[in-house]
């Protein structure tokens, strides 16, 4: 009878096990850039997205006035997600394990060609070279 009771308690404990919650936060400098992760639009930065599998993730960041940035970011599995240990972390550990990753991408502003901009303004206003007041 004791063995049955112990087995039931062990089974209940295993069924009430925790899990691993994984998230990736992508931030940009400057903030507010449009973020695409693995070809799927995620929204403006900073953005936090859940993920299931580890591996390389392709991030594309676009913001008007800045050069777009594309990065291949490796998301490596932690030690507790290695084969064999992952069963304990996923099913037998009674609490939730949080795996939070973050990536920061710096955007470079476009360099304005001032001379070309002034020349285009002069051409658009009808005043060519030498028509300064």
Between 112 and 10, where is the model more confident? 112
Residue 28 lies inside a defined structural domain of this protein: yes
Q: Name the domain count of the chain.
A: 1
Residue 64 lies inside a defined structural domain of this protein: yes
Residue 16 has pLDDT above 70, yes or no: no
Residue 22 lies inside a defined structural domain of this protein: yes
Residue 120 lies inside a defined structural domain of this protein: no
Q: Which CATH number covers residue 81?
A: 2.60.40
The per-residue pLDDT of the chain, averaged, comes to 83
Q: How confident is the model over 37-72, as pLDDT tens digits?
A: 999 999 999 999 999 889 999 999 999 999 999 999
Query: 20 Cβ partners below 8 Å, 6+ apart?
Result: 80, 81, 89, 90, 96, 97, 98, 99
Residue 18 lies inside a defined structural domain of this protein: yes
User: Is residue 99 within 8 Å of residue 79, measured between CB atoms?
Assistant: no
Residue 97 lies inside a defined structural domain of this protein: yes
Q: What confidence score (pLDDT) does residue 7 get?
A: 62
Residue 118 lies inside a defined structural domain of this protein: no
- Whole-model pTM? 0.67
Domain region containing 86: 12-106
Residue 6 lies inside a defined structural domain of this protein: no
Q: How confident is the model over 66-92, as pLDDT tens digits?
A: 999 999 999 998 887 778 777 766 777
User: Is residue 21 within 8 Å of residue 98, measured between CB atoms?
Assistant: yes
């Amino acid at each position: 009878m004791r063995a049955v009771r112990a087995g039931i308690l062990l089974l209940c404990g295993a069924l009430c096990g925790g899990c691993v919650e994984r998230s990736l936060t992508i931030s940009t400098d400057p903030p507010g850039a449009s973020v695409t992760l693995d070809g799927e639009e995620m929204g403006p930065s900073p953005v936090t997205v859940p993920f299931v599998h580890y591996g390389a993730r392709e991030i594309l960041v676009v913001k008007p006035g800045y050069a777009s940035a594309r990065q291949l970011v490796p998301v490596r599995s932690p030690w507790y997600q290695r084969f064999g240990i992952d069963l304990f972390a996923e099913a037998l550990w009674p609490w939730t394990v949080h795996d939070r990753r973050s990536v920061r991408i710096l955007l470079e502003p476009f360099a304005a060609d001032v001379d070309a901009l002034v020349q285009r303004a002069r051409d658009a206003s009808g005043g060519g070279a030498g028509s300064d007041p």
